[in-house]
Structure 1
Amino acid sequence: MKFFIDTGNLSQIQEAHDLGILDGVTTNPSLMAKEGIKGEEAITNHYKAICDIVDGDVSAEVLSTDFNSIIEEGKKLAAIHPNIVVKVPMIKDGVKAIKWFTDNGIKTNCTLVFSAGQAILAAKAGAKYVSPFVGRIDDSGWDGMELIGQISHIYQLQGFTTQILAASIRSALHIVKAAELGANVCTCPLESILGLLKHPLTDIGLAKFLEDAKKL
Structure 2
Amino acid sequence: MSSKLDQLKSMTVIVADTGDMDAIKAFAPVDCTTNPTLILKAAQMPAYAHLVEEAIVWGRSHNEVTSRVTDRLAVNFGAELTRIVPGRVSTEVDADLSFDTQGTIAKAHSIIADYESRGISRNRILIKIAATWEGIQAAAKLQADGIDCNMTLCFSLTQAVACAEAGAFLISPFVGRILDWHMKAEGKTFTPETDPGVASVRQIYAYYKAYDVKTVIMGASFRNKGEIEALAGCDRLTIAPALLDELSKDMGELPRRLDPQATASEAPAKFSLDEKTFRFLINEDAMTTEKLAEGIRTFARDLGTLRELVSQNLMKAA
TM-score range, shorter chain: 0.7 to 0.9
Partner of 1:155: 208
Q: Is 2:223 the partner of 1:170?
A: yes
Partner of 1:3: 14
Is the contact between residue 74 and residue 91 of structure 2 (CA under 8 Å) also seen in structure 1?
Answer: no
CA offset at residue 143 of structure 1?
0.9
Cα distance 1:108–1:200, how it changes in 2: closer, same or farther (>3 A)? closer
Q: Which amino acid aligns with 1:146?
A: A
Q: For 2:72 and 2:250, how far apart are their aligned partners in 1? A: 43
Is the contact between residue 75 and residue 91 of structure 2 (CA under 8 Å) also seen in structure 1?
Answer: no
CA offset at residue 198 of structure 1?
2.9
67, 73, 88: which is aligned to 2:101?
67
Is the contact between residue 111 and residue 132 of structure 1 (CA under 8 Å) also seen in structure 2?
Answer: yes
> Which of 1 and 2 has higher RCO (CA within 8 Å, sep 6+)?
2
RMSD of aligned alpha carbons: 1.8
23, 37, 46: which is aligned to 1:12?
23
Where do residues 16-95 of structure 1 align in structure 2 (5 Å cutoff)?
Answer: 16-17=27-28, 22-36=29-43, 39-63=70-94, 64-65=97-98, 66-79=100-113, 80=115, 81-82=120-121, 83-95=124-136
Q: For 2:226 and 2:150, how far apart are their aligned partners in 1? A: 24
After TM superposition, the score normalised by the length of structure 2 is 0.59
Q: Is 2:207 the partner of 1:127?
A: no
Consecutive unaligned residues in structure 1, runs of 5 or more: 203-216
Q: For 1:146 and 1:41, how far apart are their aligned partners in 2? A: 38
CA offset at residue 201 of structure 1?
7.7
Partner of 2:189: none
Q: Which amino acid aligns with 1:57?
A: R
Higher strand share: 1
194, 197, 211: which is aligned to 1:144?
197
Consecutive unaligned residues in structure 2, runs of 5 or more: 1-11, 44-51, 53-68, 183-194, 254-318
Q: For 1:199 and 1:157, how far apart are their aligned partners in 2? A: 33
Partner of 2:147: 106
Cα distance 1:199–1:68, how it changes in 2: closer, same or farther (>3 A)? closer
Q: Which amino acid aligns with 2:246?
A: G
Secondary structure in 2 aligned to 1:122? helix
Secondary structure in 1 aligned to 2:108? helix
Q: Percent identity among equivalent residues?
A: 31
After TM superposition, the score normalised by the length of structure 1 is 0.85
Deviations 1:78-114 (A, max 9, x none): 2313211001111111011110011111111111111
Q: Which amino acid aligns with 2:109?
A: K
Provide the aligned length of Structure 1 versus Structure 2: 196
